[in-house]
């Protein structure tokens, strides 16, 4: 924590001479380096395109201050497509505390770590951004971050439409709810509510975009 608190801004880091601040550079390398993905910055006007992915007008929640896209390695893309097996992919939001996102980005969303089990075991997602934001309170960020001192983050995930994704879905060519998909294992609250999805297999989803909300001063 002492190294984090004393970590200088990026502009100062790039000016370090050889041998200076090696412990800070090692920390930054550990935080940022990954052989499996890259994090790309998107322009804010890309938000409208994300709303189109959701088939949602996104008026129920404020627009994020920053957008990022996760670009996965060829190996991980191939594995995801193999798991998909030609099934449809849809998008849904996942809210979590700010301090959880380093693990979420590098390790993915893990069903067994979910603490919300009212409607059964699995990773909870929603088609409603305002609902996801309820689970993403603002938290203190790195004090030198140009994004701002207090941030909130929501993940927009790619989800494979598979029977292990529990939700309110109608049977094919029918108006009847498919009960095999409407309830997750060990549910205490009954069927999965409307606008929610419970993913019971880690391989069926991955984070694709990060929506970041900044509270306080930041560089626009």
We report the CATH number of the domain holding residue 139 as 3.90.228.10
Q: Do residues 157 and 116 share a domain? A: yes
Q: Do residues 50 and 28 share a domain? A: no
Expressed as residue numbers, the domain containing 98 is 36-215
What's the angle, vertex CA 178, arms to CA 172 and CA 181, rounded to 5?
115
pLDDT per position as a tens digit, 60-91: 799 999 999 999 999 999 999 999 999 999 99
DSSP class of 195: T
* Mean pLDDT taken over the chain: 85
Q: Do residues 23 and 122 share a domain? A: no
Q: Do residues 93 and 168 share a domain? A: yes
Cα–Cα distance, 139 to 98 (Å, whole number): 6
pLDDT per position as a tens digit, 183-203: 787 777 888 888 899 999 999
Residue 220 within any structural domain of the chain: no
pLDDT band at 179 (very low <50, low <70, confident <90, very high): low
Q: Do residues 24 and 44 share a domain? A: no
CB-based contact 127:198 (threshold 8 Å) = no
What is the pTM (predicted TM-score) of this model? 0.86
Residues facing 53 on adjacent strands: none
Q: Which of 114, 155, 108 is nearest to 132 (CA)?
A: 155
CB-based contact 205:125 (threshold 8 Å) = yes
Residue 78 within any structural domain of the chain: yes
The total domain count for the chain is: 2
pLDDT at 219 over 60: no
């Amino acid at each position: 924590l002492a190294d984090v608190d004393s970590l200088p801004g990026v502009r100062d880091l790039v000016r370090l001479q050889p041998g200076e601040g090696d412990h800070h550079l090692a920390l930054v390398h550990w935080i940022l380096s990954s052989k499996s993905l890259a994090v790309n910055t998107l322009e804010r006007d890309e938000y409208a395109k994300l709303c189109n992915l959701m088939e949602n007008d996104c008026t129920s929640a404020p627009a994020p201050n920053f957008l990022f896209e996760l670009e996965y390695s060829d190996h991980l893309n191939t594995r995801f497509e193999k798991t998909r097996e030609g099934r449809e992919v849809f998008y849904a939001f996942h809210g979590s505390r700010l301090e959880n996102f380093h693990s979420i980005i590098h390790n993915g969303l893990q069903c067994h770590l979910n603490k919300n089990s009212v409607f059964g075991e699995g990773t909870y997602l929603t088609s409603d951004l305002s609902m996801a934001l309820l689970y993403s309170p603002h938290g203190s960020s790195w004090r030198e971050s140009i994004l701002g001192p207090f941030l909130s983050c929501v993940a927009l995930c790619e989800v494979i439409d598979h029977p292990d994704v529990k939700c309110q879905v109608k049977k094919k060519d029918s108006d009847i709810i498919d009960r095999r998909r409407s309830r997750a294992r060990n549910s205490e609250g009954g069927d999965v509510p409307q606008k929610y999805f419970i993913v019971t297999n880690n391989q069926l989803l991955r984070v694709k975009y990060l929506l970041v909300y900044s509270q306080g001063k930041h560089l626009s």
